[in-house]
Amino acid sequence: MSVIRSVVAGAGAYLPARTVTNQELATQLDTSDEWIRERTGIHERRIAADGEYTSDMAIAAAQEALRSANLNANAIDLIVLATATPDETFPATATTVQARLGMTRGAAFDVQAVCSGFVYALAVADNFIKVGQAKNCLVIGAETFSRILDWSDRTTSVLFGDGAGALVLSAGRGEGTQADRGVLTTHLFSDGRHHDLLYVDGGPSKTRTTGVLRMEGKEVFRQAVTKMSEAIDASLSACGLTAQDIDWFVPHQANQRILDATARKVGVHPSRVVSTVAHHANTSAASVPLALVTAIKDGRIKPGHLVLIEAMGGGFTWGSALIRW
Ligand code: ACO
């Protein structure tokens, strides 16, 4: 049976120039390099420059993805940009990216699912392609979380960083089996009852302010491992695959301890886990595409490999996808 598949045609990433080490944070906060490394695996993070916006990083990542796909912007039918830190309340940052890429056709919108945003955006683009409404899609995750942190709160501010990553998905043909190239399955979940565990205490409607991130870290940690494992099981069983079939596990980069615990729970060997949390910290919707691009550029992810992605974020939202590269 011939089916439409969303094949990864290109990938790109962008990180701001400025590196902020744990030692630098320890000069402003009651924390230490040792505590942050031990509890999170984070050594450093990138922070956007004054005047450098989510759209700037998204555009840089998108341009690299388009170059690697050998496409120009007007070949794109749809931009889906995942972010919880848009340039402005409206219009969607995706439309700023569209204009600055020189794209004069198609559609562009943002998806808001916080740290799960990239998995959500990928699922949306995949479905547009599968129903025949788009041939080429840009899926972007881009964040300036540094702008919504309480820099005096050591329990949250040490965990996050800024950055962007993008994939080009293009319609291709498959046989409908798990040997096909492209997105094989996506699974999305949310449960709004968990609002108070992870949220931003402001917004245009409630406070007319942006607000800052608030989190019950211990409870988020506990729920993250359980929920991400459930999402992974959903993807694997939908394709009749097991953890042993996965070439690369590219999880949301929240905390090395969460990555390790999730990989252990689902049975993926540590050598198959792509981790960038030491150098990027948690870049929310950008974390998965940044990690994917790292593993493509260093030669780990190759065409034909089976790649598992997952994420969880505020809401809670969570999800997973299996992609044959
Ligand atoms: N430096 C030094 N001490 C700190 C710091 C810090 N930066 N932050 C907290 N502490 C202290 C606490 O105050 C506490 O002190 P106390 O015992 O005197 O009260 C002690 O360290 C232990 O704090 P815990 O919160 O119990 O530490 P824990 O081991 O749970 O680690 C952390 C905290 C890193 C936040 C962890 O719970 C975590 O990673 N949670 C997941 C959060 C997350 O990833 N959120 C992102 C969005 S959701 C997602 O991406 C999955």
DSSP string, 295-313: HHHTT-S-TT-EEEEEEEE
Per-residue pLDDT of the chain (325 residues; tens, 9 = 90+): 799 999 999 999 999 999 999 999 999 999 999 999 999 999 999 999 999 999 999 999 999 999 999 999 999 999 999 999 999 999 999 999 999 999 999 999 999 999 999 999 999 999 999 999 999 999 999 999 999 999 999 999 999 999 999 999 999 999 999 999 999 999 999 999 999 999 999 999 999 999 999 999 999 999 999 999 999 999 999 999 999 999 999 999 999 999 999 999 999 999 999 999 999 999 999 999 999 999 999 999 999 999 999 999 999 999 999 999 9
Using DSSP's 3-state secondary structure scheme, residue 98 falls into: helix
Q: What is the per-residue pLDDT for 1?
A: 79
Which of 49, 82, 51, 73 has its CA nearest to residue 164? 82
Q: Name the burial class of residue 9, with classes exposed (0-12), middle (13-18) and buried (19+) by CB atoms within 10 angstroms of its CB.
A: buried
Domain layout of the chain by residue ranges:
3-174, 182-324
Q: Is 155 in the pocket of ligand 1 (CB under 6 A)?
A: yes
Q: What is the pLDDT of residue 321?
A: 98
- Both tokens of 280, joined, read 């990027």
Q: Distance (Å, rounded) from C-alpha 71 to C-alpha 93?
A: 21
Question: How far is it, in rounded angstroms, from Cα 155 to Cα 169?
Answer: 37
Asked if residue 226 has its Cβ within 6 Å of ligand 1, the reply is no
Q: Can you give the pLDDT at residue 315?
A: 97
Q: Which residues are catalytic?
A: 115, 252, 282
> 128 burial class (0-12, 13-18, 19+ CB within 10 angstroms)?
buried
16: which residues sit within 8 A by CB, 6+ positions away?
Answer: 46, 47, 48, 49, 52, 57, 162, 163
Tell me how far apart the alpha carbons of residues 174 and 13 are, in angstroms, rounded to a whole number: 28
Classify strands 317-324 and 182-190 as parallel, antiparallel or unpaired. Answer: antiparallel
Q: Is the CB of 115 under 6 A from ligand 1?
A: yes
Compute the distance from residue 261 Cα to the ligand 1 centre, in Å: 16
Rounded (10°) angle between helices 256-266 and 33-40? 20
- Residue with CA at minimum distance from ligand 1 atom 9: 155
Q: Fold for 182-324, please state it.
A: Peroxisomal Thiolase; Chain A, domain 1 (3.40.47)
Q: 1: which 2 tokens?
A: 């049976």
Question: In angstroms, what CA-CA distances link 210 with 95, 112, 200, 222?
Answer: 21, 15, 8, 28
Tokens of 260: 């390790």
In sequence order, which ranges of 70-185 are alpha helices (DSSP H)? Answer: 93-100, 117-130, 154-157
Task: Please report the pLDDT score of residue 97 as a whole number.
Answer: 98
CATH architecture, domain defined by 3-174:
3-Layer(aba) Sandwich (3.40)
Geometric angle at alpha carbon 134, from 129 and 140, rounded to 5°: 80
The pTM of this model reads 0.97
Instruction: Indicate the Cα dihedral angle 121, 258, 179, 323, nearest 10°.
Output: 20
| Domains 3-174 and 182-324 belong to one CATH topology | yes
Cα(34) to ligand 1 centroid in Å equals: 13
282 CA to centre of ligand 1 in angstroms = 14
**How high is the pLDDT of residue 323?**
98
The three-state secondary structure class of 292 is helix
